[in-house]
Amino acid sequence: MKSTSSAPAKVILFGEHFIVYGGKAILCSINKRITVESELTKTSKIEIDSDLGTLDVPKNVDIKDVDSVFRPLVYLAKKILKQDSGVKISVTSEIPSGVGLGSSSACCVAAASSILGLYGKPSKEEILKLAIDAEKTIFENASGADSSICVYGGIMEYSKKGSKGLDLKPKFKLVIANSKVSHSTSQVVARVKKFKEKQPDVFSAICDNEASLIEEALQDLKKNDVKSLGQKMLVNQAHLDKIGVSNDTLDAMLDSIRDISHGAKITGAGDGGCIIALVDDKNMKKTLDSLKKKYECFAVDIDATGVEGGN
């Protein structure tokens, strides 16, 4: 028996890093997906085939002995499979990995849905709980924000207190450009923590400003005021600059489209990875043309579906 599921990538429109310290974030899913196909076997083994490599281990393997790339998938297989079953897991992705687009969360969500689907139709609540637990095998302090938006899709307001899907029909599109600069999420998060500890009053003021900015951005989203929303993205980027998560390459990318797009900022941890630019039909081509002179870039729409499949 086989079960196939897919889940979308995501971007953070507002609030990355500040969410760790009690703030809100606004996330949206995008129409780039990871697909996971699971098939029951009688081998009592977990076999994985993906763009990042292959794995073939006994089902009783200690999760700590598994390479971090495969650890969430092995965790999910061990958690869900019935006693005598093994599984073959195949992963295909449209999402670049390690660039702030939520590839690991989308994979956890799609895998949870796919493996659960071998035994029946799973609920989104079941999928989300398992996906977050799986993600924590590599990111111990994962907030659950990325997995939540990958499960439910659309645009979401998220904080540690919970999530709220926003029933919106946005008129904007996004252009995503990859800096191809590698970065470590954990190192960037540690750097922000150090900034907070050294300059607590400054950091607190930035958090307050970000909180106000997000409330205003939510109103812009409800009114579909793309130009005003773009200006707020620029302000958000200034906040991220202040806490030290940008760099010269990202700054140059953002400067190259400052007068073309409606607004642009980094998305995710920063210090590498991707930027996002807010565009519409009038300036999307110009934005893409400007960025693709030096960078890998593509346009995306908001994905309103979230996780699909699972039996």
Phi, psi torsion values for 258, nearest 5 degrees: -55, -40
310 located within any domain: no
**Distance of alpha carbon 150 from alpha carbon 169, whole angstroms:** 18
**Distance of alpha carbon 82 from alpha carbon 99, whole angstroms:** 35
Element (H or E) spanning 181, and its range? none
48 located within any domain: yes
Report the CATH number that the domain containing residue 54 is assigned in CATH.
3.30.230.10
pLDDT at 161: 86
- Is 146 among the residues known to form the active site? yes
88 located within any domain: yes
Full residue range of the structural domain in which residue 177 is found: 173-300
Strand, helix or coil for residue 123: coil
pLDDT per residue, tens digit, the chain (311 aa), is: 899 999 999 999 999 999 989 999 999 999 999 999 999 999 889 999 998 899 999 999 999 999 999 999 999 999 999 888 999 999 999 988 888 899 999 999 999 999 999 999 999 999 999 999 999 998 887 778 899 999 999 999 999 888 899 988 888 999 999 999 888 888 898 999 999 999 999 999 999 999 999 999 999 999 999 999 999 999 999 999 999 999 999 999 999 999 999 999 999 889 999 999 999 999 999 999 999 999 999 999 999 899 998 66
Q: How far is CA 104 from CA 138, 222, 246, in A?
A: 9, 30, 22
Residue that the structure tokens 């904080």 belong to: 159
**Distance of alpha carbon 67 from alpha carbon 55, whole angstroms:** 9
pLDDT at 311: 63
79 located within any domain: yes
Residues 151 and 197 in one domain: no
Q: Which amino acid is at 168?
A: L
Last residue of a domain, one of 167, 199, 221: 167
CA 201, 206, 210, 216 dihedral sign is positive
Question: Which of 146, 167, 220, 225 is labelled catalytic?
Answer: 146
Residues 85 and 230 in one domain: no
143 located within any domain: yes
Last residue of a domain, one of 145, 167, 189: 167
pLDDT at 97: 84
- 39, exposed or middle or buried, with CB in 10 Å at 0-12, 13-18, 19+? middle
33 located within any domain: yes
What contacts 217, CB < 8 A, 6 or more positions away?
Answer: 13, 14, 26, 229, 232
What is the DSSP-derived secondary structure letter of residue 99?
A: S
C-alpha dihedral (115, 118, 123, 127), degrees to nearest 10: 0
305 located within any domain: no
Last residue of a domain, one of 152, 167, 182: 167
Q: What is the DSSP string of 185-249?
A: HHHHHHHHHHHHHH-HHHHHHHHHHHHHHHHHHHHHHHHT-HHHHHHHHHHHHHHHHHTT---HH
State how many domains the chain has.
Answer: 2
pLDDT at 160: 83
Which residue in 3, 91, 7, 80 sits closest to 47, CA to CA? 91
Strand, helix or coil for residue 94: coil
Residues 23 and 93 in one domain: yes
